[in-house]
Chains A and B, each alone.
Chain A
Amino acid sequence: MSEPDETFEPRIVAFFCNWCTYTAADLAGISRMTYAPNVRVVRLMCSGRLDPQFVLAALRDGADGVLIGGCHPGDCHYQLGNYNAQRRVLLLKRMLRAMGIEDERVRLEWISAAEGEKVQRVCNEMTEQVRALGPLHLAAVPRREAS
């Protein structure tokens, strides 16, 4: 492992569901809760829309971590979406582990619309955890040279 880079600012892509987590992030904003700027949110209507390809694409495109936010089990606005997200992420993480990607880099959190404080806490926590792990530095996909 390379030496930890003091100036390393992790970039984390977050997939937040519209009804719960995105609203909670709005609430954190309305409440003027300050938190690390390292998390960039992509809005989905439901965590059930989450395709594991999105997580991998984010890592491939340069993210050091991925955060997925959905409603608490039982509270999904569409009833079953978060259960689907949970199962997909569980399997994806097992694959990631076998591929040498640390557990803390992909995180699934249930955050309800009232939990602005949790958005703040999770963003701060994850930023520090990923900072400690260092940049992801995925091996580049080899590109053929132009002929």
Chain B
Amino acid sequence: MQAHDGAPKIGVYICHCGLNIAGKIDVEQVVAFAATLPNVAVARDYRFMCSDPGQDLIRQDIDDGLVNRVVVASCSPLMHEATFRRATAAGGISPFFFQMASIREHVSWVTADQQDATEKAKALVAAAVRRVALHEPLERRQSPVLPDAMVVGAGIAGIHAALTMANAGKHVYLIERESTIGGHMARFDKTFPTLDCAACILTPKMSEVRANPNITLWTYADVVSVEGYTGNFTVRVRRRPRYVDEDLCTGCLACIDACINKKAKVPDEWNEGLSKRKPIYIPFPQATPPVVVVDPETCIWFKTGKCPRPCIDACERDAFDFEQQERIEEVKVGAIVLATGFKEFDATRIPAYGYGRYPNVYTSVEVERLVNATGPTQGEIVLRDGTRPQTVGIIHCVGSRDERYNAYCSRVCCMYSLKLAHLIRERSGAEVYDFYIDMRTAGKGYEEFYDKLMQEGTHFVRGRVAGVTDEATTPEEEGKLIVRAEDTLLGAARRIPVDMVVLAVGLEPQPDAQDVRRLFNIGCGAEGFFTERHPKLAPVSTFTDGIFLAGACQGPKDIPDSVAQAGAAAAEVLAMVDRGMVELEPSTAFIDPAACSGCRTCVGLCPFAAITFDHDRNVAEVNEVVCKGCGICVGACPTGAAQQHLFTDEEIFNEIEGVLAYV
């Protein structure tokens, strides 16, 4: 790289971007103006600066010795700053001898009047020209990437990501909050559109996870802190006590039979409270790991200290440890995939649908458990009183596509409602009414599945359901739940009496999504799902390098898309880890020790603890590798001893002056 080489010779390149810029801004005027600015040696325009010939203009001018600083006025730096920095570097000078002026997103696309747009573009070009003259020849630091990865959340997305990386030879920590992996998919009976048995396709993968020597599986565990930086994360994981030694338990379940509680009395969370469990339990027979859990909230030993604990005697492996404490494990990983999934919309928020009031109003999740052979009714569709329903109404868009709750479409509900319609009919022979607004069946085989349901005789009523009531107005309605909906195809309001109502609840972010995203320093969108770096071009990365997303935690999606995204996230991790190093942006803070008075104003302000105080020299020091380049310390430093590369006071003062001095 060239060292600081004397007087700046600035090349200014104005892009037309086809008509995106040139259609509104008088590019020639801007070029002529740029040529008059201090230190400008060359001012050019070109149709598409980001193209190869466009970039070549820059490279050639530098090569020819005409230019040693570059300004490109085009689109947003968020789009092409990297591109033009590379072009600048290709010319043989530091890529940071470059500044961009956004005259597309910030000018041509948003300004009505052509002359106003041209004037504003000139001001922004002048600002960039004045600033770039002061840029230093910075270089990116390289930092090694640790070889291990972590996946947080072991639903289908987390499992797939972990297996992909483990099979590529990487060591993966797979962290799951529940006592078993499998996520939501483990609770389904069949999956759409193929009506594959969910357990049949999932449990082999769950076994693979357990058997894979490259995967360290910690269930009943969560992440408590994440520190460090890209490629070098230190994560502390809390492993909660089951009071059973995982290495000894074989999952024989003798202890559950032996439990002093002869009858199960605790509402079983796995079955949505539709059945009961004992204080010692396993969520479902194929739980992975196959290890029981003791619930201290309901176990008599923990509540009173008085129990003969027949469970201990029943255990041939002597696996019980009632003194077990939570353990904090600290691990270092290079990259993390978040696959923390979703939660269902709480149907009690829509009182008109009667959930929680009428016993035979169910959520789709509860019905998934009913149809499941290992569920509370062994796969039978029965009402709370044990009788079979003759008619069932399924209400779509519960909590979705509704400005009062969530404006977005939850994407999977139409398909799973059709699936449940099919299964309900199959198991119980009931007549099924599907109340929908639009039928969203866009995936592979999905529209065909809808056709099949129509062939089967499912009744489809197009209209939003106003409410569910048990107030009969005719003899046929007695003892039934009446679904009141507008049938828009008929053009009439209808009252349809059913025995059972199923609410197709939408998908929402997990309740602690805000806390989790702060732990990992990523963002959430307005709806609360984790924010991807770019909705089209970077759907699995986040704004924090090294943290990736997979599955419904990023937005509602079905199993095929979750698996695809998990594979993509795994690929990104593998790319990072195999490359072995990341380049850190050089826009870090630094403190001139000669200028620092030791006032310590900065030390406590750094959110990343990147500043330490040297008591011997009485100065503060920034750790360049940990520094993330926010500039809080620089703004606060009362004497300007702390500065930020690429954002020094001088550079910014000049930018401000430039943006006002000429136009």
Inter-chain contacts of A40 with B (CB < 8 A): 120, 123-124, 127, 659-660
CB under 8 Å from chain A, chain B span 98-149:
102, 104-107, 109-113, 116-117, 119-120, 123-124, 127
Q: From known contacts A34-B111, A45-B587, infer whether A80 and B607 are also in contact, taking CB-CB under 8 Å.
A: yes
* 17 A-B residue pairings within 8 Å (CB atoms): A13-B656, A26-B105, A28-B105, A29-B110, A33-B110, A34-B112, A35-B110, A40-B124, A41-B124, A42-B659, A45-B629, A48-B631, A54-B653, A61-B661, A78-B632, A79-B518, A120-B110
Task: Identify whether the interface residues of A are mostly helix, strand, loop, or mixed.
Answer: mixed
Residue positions of A touching B, CB distance < 8 A: 11, 13, 18-19, 22-23, 25-26, 28-30, 32-35, 37, 40-46, 48-51, 53-54, 57-58, 61-63, 74-75, 77-81, 84-85, 88, 112-114, 120
User: Which A residue sits closest to B527, measured CB to CB?
Assistant: A114
Please tell me if the beta carbons of A42 and B655 are within 8 angstroms of each other in the complex: yes
Please tell me if the beta carbons of A11 and B660 are within 8 angstroms of each other in the complex: yes
- Among A37, A53, A57, the most chain B Cβ lie within 10 Å of the Cβ of A37
Tell yes or no: B636 within 8 A of A by CB: yes
Inter-chain contacts of B657 with A (CB < 8 A): 57, 61
User: Which A residue sits closest to B644, measured CB to CB?
Assistant: A49
Q: From known contacts A61-B661, A79-B521, infer whether A42 and B607 are also in contact, taking CB-CB under 8 Å.
A: no
Tell yes or no: B628 within 8 A of A by CB: yes
B632, B647, B652: which contacts A80 (Cβ < 8 A)?
Answer: B632
Please tell me if the beta carbons of A29 and B127 are within 8 angstroms of each other in the complex: no
- Among B76, B605, B629, B657, the most chain A Cβ lie within 10 Å of the Cβ of B76
Q: From known contacts A23-B78, A34-B112, A77-B523, infer whether A84 and B659 are also in contact, taking CB-CB under 8 Å.
A: no
Please tell me if the beta carbons of A30 and B632 are within 8 angstroms of each other in the complex: no
Inter-chain contacts of B635 with A (CB < 8 A): 48-51, 84-85, 88
Inter-chain contacts of B106 with A (CB < 8 A): 25-26, 29, 41
The 8 A-B pairs of least Cβ separation, nearest first, read: A49-B631, A29-B105, A78-B630, A48-B632, A46-B630, A79-B607, A29-B109, A37-B116
Inter-chain contacts of B116 with A (CB < 8 A): 37
| A63 shortest CB reach to chain B, Å | 6
Inter-chain contacts of A74 with B (CB < 8 A): 514, 518
Please tell me if the beta carbons of B660 and A81 are within 8 angstroms of each other in the complex: no
Please tell me if the beta carbons of B109 and A77 are within 8 angstroms of each other in the complex: no
Tell yes or no: B575 within 8 A of A by CB: no
User: Which B residue sits closest to A120, measured CB to CB?
Assistant: B110
User: Which A residue sits closest to B646, measured CB to CB?
Assistant: A45
CB under 8 Å from chain A, chain B span 604-663:
605, 607-608, 628-632, 634-636, 644, 647, 649, 652-653, 655-657, 659-661
The CA of A135 and the CA of B226, in the complex, are separated in Å by 50
Additional 19 contacts, C-beta under 8 A, given A49-B635, A62-B661, A81-B630: A26-B76, A29-B104, A29-B106, A37-B113, A40-B660, A41-B124, A42-B127, A46-B630, A46-B632, A51-B649, A54-B653, A57-B656, A61-B656, A63-B660, A77-B630, A80-B605, A81-B632, A88-B636, A112-B526
User: Which B residue sits closest to A16, measured CB to CB?
Assistant: B106
User: Which A residue sits closest to B652, measured CB to CB?
Assistant: A54
Please tell me if the beta carbons of A45 and B630 are within 8 angstroms of each other in the complex: yes
CB under 8 Å from chain A, chain B span 509-532:
514, 518, 521, 523-526, 531
Inter-chain contacts of A35 with B (CB < 8 A): 110-111
Inter-chain contacts of B587 with A (CB < 8 A): 45
User: Which B residue sits closest to A46, measured CB to CB?
Assistant: B630
User: Which A residue sits closest to B131, measured CB to CB?
Assistant: A42
Please tell me if the beta carbons of A43 and B531 are within 8 angstroms of each other in the complex: no
User: Which A residue sits closest to B111, measured CB to CB?
Assistant: A37
Tell yes or no: B543 within 8 A of A by CB: yes
| A131 shortest CB reach to chain B, Å | 14
Inter-chain contacts of A80 with B (CB < 8 A): 605, 607, 632
Inter-chain contacts of B109 with A (CB < 8 A): 29-30, 32
Q: From known contacts A37-B117, A75-B523, A77-B521, infer whether A25 and B660 are also in contact, taking CB-CB under 8 Å.
A: no
Inter-chain contacts of B644 with A (CB < 8 A): 45, 49
Please tell me if the beta carbons of B605 and A37 are within 8 angstroms of each other in the complex: no
The CA of A61 and the CA of B126, in the complex, are separated in Å by 14
Please tell me if the beta carbons of B107 and A37 are within 8 angstroms of each other in the complex: yes
Please tell me if the beta carbons of B523 and A61 are within 8 angstroms of each other in the complex: no
Inter-chain contacts of A19 with B (CB < 8 A): 523, 543
CB under 8 Å from chain A, chain B span 581-618:
587, 605, 607-608
